[in-house]
Amino acid sequence: MTANNDSLTAFKSSFPIDNKSIEFLPVYFNFIEFYLKKEKEMLSEVKKYLIVGLSNLLFSTKKRDDTDEVDPDEDEYSRRTKRNLRSRMDFLFARYNLLTKKYDEAIDKLTTSIIAYSEVYGPESVGLTAHYFYLANYFCEILDKEAEERDVIITNIYLKICEIWKKYFLGEKNELFDSISIK
């Protein structure tokens, strides 16, 4: 893990990009994903990267608001990119909050993430299936283990995930939203 941090520092120093730039957010997201998989033992690292990533995102948004000259095409692209990055950041915060048992914060972040992502790609995008999976995990954690309602809710979420992937494999697209492709 020390090697990961050293690699990130070396990577940053070799490129003339502002460290407060959103250009590094995908790198932070990868570190967060890695540390989330380690669960309890690495939550301090997860929190560190979440805070740094969020501050970079907020700083870049403030920087954009401070400039007066705006190209309309670039502005739309920039807004979409930032909305997508903010959605991913909220999703990672939700996963962190689920691990730390902060369920109210987790559902708020997860809901915000789903809405932001849906605005660009649609509510039935394959990119949202991970969000829906963690939504099912949320209901699994908060609802009584004996409740029949719990099983119905979780089953319906999993069925929706399967339906979304089925539509994706069949090539069905909603023309109102951008479509993404899995690489």
> Lowest mean pLDDT: which of 62-66, 131-135, 156-160?
62-66
> In the predicted model, is pLDDT for residue 141 greater than 70?
yes
Strands (E), the chain: none
Instruction: Write the Ramachandran bin of 71: left for phi over 0, alpha for psi from -120 to 50, otherwise beta.
Output: beta
CA distance linking residue 87 with residue 97, whole number of Å: 15
What per-residue confidence (pLDDT) applies to 27? 73
CA distance linking residue 119 with residue 153, whole number of Å: 24
Q: Region 122-129: what's the mean pLDDT?
A: 89
CA distance linking residue 18 with residue 31, whole number of Å: 19
Q: Region 53-82: what's the mean pLDDT?
A: 67
| 47 against 17, higher pLDDT | 47
Assess contact for 114 and 131: CB atoms under 8 A. yes
CA distance linking residue 129 with residue 168, whole number of Å: 11
Residue 146, judged by CB atoms within 10 A of its CB (0-12, 13-18, 19+), counts as exposed
What per-residue confidence (pLDDT) applies to 68? 52
| pTM for the whole structure | 0.74
Predicted confidence band at 65 (pLDDT cuts at 50, 70, 90)?
A: low
> In the predicted model, is pLDDT for residue 25 greater than 70?
yes
Cβ atoms within 10 Å of 114's Cβ, excluding its own: 20
Q: What are the boundaries of each domain within the chain?
A: 2-121
- Computed over every residue of the chain, the mean pLDDT equals 79
| 9 against 147, higher pLDDT | 147
At residue 178, the 3 state secondary structure works out as coil
Q: Region 166-171: what's the mean pLDDT?
A: 89
| 135 against 178, higher pLDDT | 135
Q: Which residue in 69, 15, 40 sits closest to 78, CA to CA? A: 69
**60-71 per-residue burial string, b: 16 or more CB within 10 A, e: under 16:** bbeeeeeeeeee
Tell me: the pLDDT tens digits for 5-18? 666 666 556 554 45
Predicted confidence band at 44 (pLDDT cuts at 50, 70, 90)?
A: confident
Cβ atoms within 10 Å of 155's Cβ, excluding its own: 11
User: Which uninterrupted H or E stretch holds 106?
Assistant: helix 103-121
| Two structure tokens written together for 116 | 């932001």
Assess contact for 49 and 35: CB atoms under 8 A. yes
